[in-house]
Structure 1
């Protein structure tokens, strides 16, 4: 009897032109039309109720290992939406970005309350270089989450409209590297002693974790650091931030507020307790302003530590 009723239900949905989609909608609790409208792109519903949207990057030709890569071979952006047990909505996704799209896409994501959960490469010998920005989010409105994804993708499209060919460097001039810095001022801002190695002034901040029942720290690679290359008036700074999971988003937000670019987010280890994530960054400008930006991200970490 139940089987017959189910078949009749299927037939009725077919006659209404709604069968697979409508049944999936009922199980997921999500309305794909809301997501489609918010993103101005068609959404599909998977058998498990996840609503997905996609965008294939065919606007820039990509060569990998001398081969022109067809976009379906790994140049697809996507976002998936799933109902949560508390009635909210969870978002996960991956966005293809070229180097000059990373910062505008990230800023758009942050402006709409989304999280960046990874930023890394999927290929080598790719020209132009391709990166992948993994995103996450949760909330009560699928439409608002979808608007955040659309804002990211729109920022990328705006960059490509203005500059059809991906840029090969950040805007601005490069500093003359003399190795002469106001070391005392930078040490006061960062609250740690620096070390000069040739023309590079480096600052290191150790962290601690456990692996295989053994404590380890900076000398084993678990450290935040900043390396300044330039002169007293202008420098570039690059480095790592070692972060626990709860510190990742606050550190990223602090660096972006300071105008420092985030160029990678990934893990360096597997099996440590607590787990650590590593953020690589790049900044260009007044050394003291760069140092204040790094200090603000360090403060974001320390504030979280004091709260727990």
Structure 2
């Protein structure tokens, strides 16, 4: 084949690819049904023509919040929001941030998970805030109506908590016994592993591995799940950290909330690791064995989701 002929064929292919790309760019982006989202959520929204995004928002003006001794208006970052955009296939993506008080976090999280939404982060934005404020990030991909209904369920659950108690609670229900006298053997039987004991407390640690800067890191470098128990066998508390890959997060959250364990934070401890590891911190009160079973159920669910 002559060089001229090969050049002609290459030009034809290049022109065809450019034309196809131009057609793809010219194809208009689908738009979400803004009126329907407003109807479902009961909130007025704003539409960005530039990005094709529709956002509804809900200021937290039902409780006065002070940060560093200053009464903070919702405009300064105390507004819940959910944003929607459509893809080319008629499906929608939703992302949002939800402003919560401590006693609202886990009811709102359960409402989100039960509605098929994802919970992707939980953290604070301030120091010296009264009452303490948390921010829960949510997301989802699918039918816009279903996503909007999920957002509405989260906001409704928050309203239910505040209707029951106008002021945020300062403690979770249930006592913690003192002095500490946790029996290790029943908990080791639940976890199928030996634990550590100190001053009537008990802790079990399960290592995980990842790689950073070409170096394998694991349990002793902090890549682990742990559970620590205090109180006594009938009036105990558990707290801990749970390490998981990104794809395991929703499974672990659902399992822990089903067991009544409270999620306190969801975040990362490292950057640049492969695979990426997320961590969640948790807290629970009750019988020590029941708490241990809840943590073990989440470990089992994590293992099953990784297969």
User: TM-score surpassing 0.5?
Assistant: yes
Aligned to 2:154: 152
Encode CA deviations 1:164-213: one digit per residue, 9 max, x unaligned: 110001122x2213332231111011111110122321000001110011
**CA deviation after TM superposition for structure 1 residue 266, in Å:** 0.7
Determine helix, strand or coil for the equivalent of 1:274: coil
**How many pairs does the alignment contain?**
279
**Residue in 1 that maps onto 2:180:** 179
The answer for the alignment partner of 2:287 in structure 1 is: 286
1:128 aligns with 2:128: no
Structure 1 partner of 2:39: 37
Cα deviation digits, residues 38-83 of structure 1 (max 9, x gap):
1111122112111110001111111111111111001011001111
Aligned: 1:261 with 2:262 = yes
**CA distance in structure 2 between the partners assigned to 1:241 and 1:287 by the alignment:** 18
Counterpart Cα distance in 1 of 2:193 and 2:235:
21
Q: Which has the larger Rg?
A: 2
2:180 and 2:31 map into 1 onto residues whose CA distance is: 60
Residue 235 (structure 1) aligns with: 236
Which residue of structure 1 aligns with residue 144 of structure 2? Answer: 142
Kept in 2: contact 1:80–1:91 (CA 8 A): yes
Tell me the residue number matched to 2:67.
Answer: 64
**Alignment partner, residue 11 of structure 1:** none
Gaps of 5+ in 2: 1-27
Note if contact 2:102-2:133 (Cα within 8 Å) is conserved in structure 1: yes
Say yes or no: does 1:52 pair with 2:22: no
Q: Does 1:295 align with 2:296?
A: yes
Which residue number corresponds to residue 23 of structure 1? Answer: none
Find the aligned partners of 2:195 and 2:179 in 1 and give their Cα distance: 17
* Aligned-partner SS, 1:144: helix
Q: 1:225–1:239: 8 Å Cα contact kept in structure 2?
A: yes
Does 1:89 find its partner at 2:69?
A: no
Contact 1:245/1:277, CA 8 A, preserved across alignment: yes
**RMSD (Å), alpha carbons:** 1.2
CA distance in 1, matches of 2:258, 2:285: 14
SS in 2 for 1:228: strand
**Separation in 1 of the partners of 2:242 and 2:249?**
9
Indicate if the aligned counterparts of 2:30 and 2:88 stay in contact, CA closer than 8 A.
no
Match of 1:117 in 2: 120
Q: Distance in 2 between matches of 1:36 and 1:147?
A: 10
1:164 aligned to 152, 163, 166, which one?
166
Kept after mapping to 2: 8 A contact 1:33/1:43: no
- Distance, in Å, in 1 between the alignment partners of 2:241 and 2:226 is 5
Matched position secondary structure for 2:228? strand
- Runs of 4+ that moved beyond 3 A: none
TM-score under structure 2 length normalisation: 0.88
Query: Which ranges of structure 1 fall in alignment gaps of 5 or more residues?
Result: 1-25
TM-score by length of 1: 0.88
Shift of 1:158: 1.4
- 1:102 corresponds to which of 80, 102, 105: 105
- Superposition deviation, residue 27 in structure 1: 4.1
- Cα distance, 1:85 vs. partner? 3.6
CA distance in 2 between partners of 1:103 and 1:63 (Å): 22
